[in-house]
Structures are given as C-alpha cells and as structure tokens.
Amino acid sequence: MSFAPTRLHRRTLLLSAAAAVAAPHVVRAAGNATPLPPMTEGPFYPQPAWRARGPFAGDWDTDLTRVTRGGRERVAEGEPLGLELQVRDTRGRALDGAVVEIWQCDNWGRYRHPRDGAQPAEVDEGFQGYGEARAGAQGTVAFRTIRPAPYAGRTPHIHLKVRHASFGEITCGG
C-alpha cells in the first residue's frame, strides 16, 4: 500500500498566533486575516502525564498514521492527509520554536483517550491520535494524519494547540 496523501495545503491557510493577545488569525494566500476565537481543549486533549504512560508513550511524532508496538507496525485506517502549518505573529513574522500539537479522533470517530470510553477493539490501533512538532526558522510544521472523521454531535475537525514564548498558549480547532 503506497502513501499518497491528500494535500490540504496549509501554505495557503496559515495559522497566525497573536503576540501578546490570545487571538490567532488564519491568513489566506491573499494575505487576509480572519480572527479565530480561542477554544477549550475539549474532553479528549491528551494531557502530558497521560501521554507519558498511555498506550503510545514515546510515540508522539508528526506521523499519526503509523504506530509501532511490540515490534509490529500498524497503519491507520482512513484517507491519508498531509497537514502543513506556518505559525506567525500578528505582523506576519514566522515564529521559530513554536510548538504545535494536533489531536483528533480516528477514522471510526474514537479518540485515543481514557475519557472516550471506547473498548480496545473499537479503536484503530494504527492511529496515533496525537502529534507534536516544533517550528523551525520559517515557522513551519508538517504532520501526516488522516482526513478527519465525524462523530456524534461534531463535524470533522482537528484540534490544534500552539505554544510560543511571545504569546503563551492558544487552543483552537474544528
């Protein structure tokens, strides 16, 4: 099975993190900025303490589509998706060193989280569910994930948290 991701080009949809105010903007290719309201983490944010000892402890990289456990690699179900983001301040400058976290449900609408209540057989064992990356000098990060799936009461979405010394922490998603 070859990996041919659908590219959701985030070069044309850039996350701008506010410097000093918690109001991120999405900057489109034309340069227009649209404010995004900060959101809560929701019930399935994988807290650091849980990540350290949870089912995928130590496997929180940028490729959410492959999980290796017990020497066996598993591949996520669902349509592969390449996600590229660029973190910028309100003046459009790239933010080197920004930490970006994403989390989402698997192809079956289940989160890899103890609060989800899913039985092991109901969760895609090949899907990591959470990833983290640090932006370089251009403020860019890239993730490999799956196209978001809907679940009861929610449209398909990916949660996003961005941290940087210039503004602290912002959570948004959907």
Average pLDDT over residues 160-165: 92
Q: What is the dihedral of CA 88, 91, 97, 99, to 10 degrees?
A: -40
What single DSSP character describes residue 115?
G
Identify which of 100, 83, 97, 63 has the alpha carbon closest to the alpha carbon of residue 13.
83
pLDDT digits (tens, 9 = 90+) for 14-68: 333 322 222 333 343 335 555 556 677 776 777 777 666 666 566 779 999 999 8
Mean pLDDT for the stretch of residues 132-152 = 94
CATH class of 6-173: mainly beta
Question: pLDDT tens digits for 93-139?
Answer: 899 999 999 999 999 988 876 666 666 667 888 999 999 999 999 99
Strands (E), the chain: 6-8, 13-16, 25-28, 33-35, 66-69, 72-75, 80-88, 99-103, 130-134, 140-146, 159-164, 168-173
Angle ∠(42,47,131) on CA atoms, nearest 5: 85
Phi and psi at residue 19, to the nearest 5°: -100, 105
Domain boundaries, the chain: 6-173
- Reply yes or no on whether the pLDDT at 12 is more than 50: no
CA distance 101 to 108: 21
Note the pTM of the prediction, 2 decimals.
Answer: 0.74
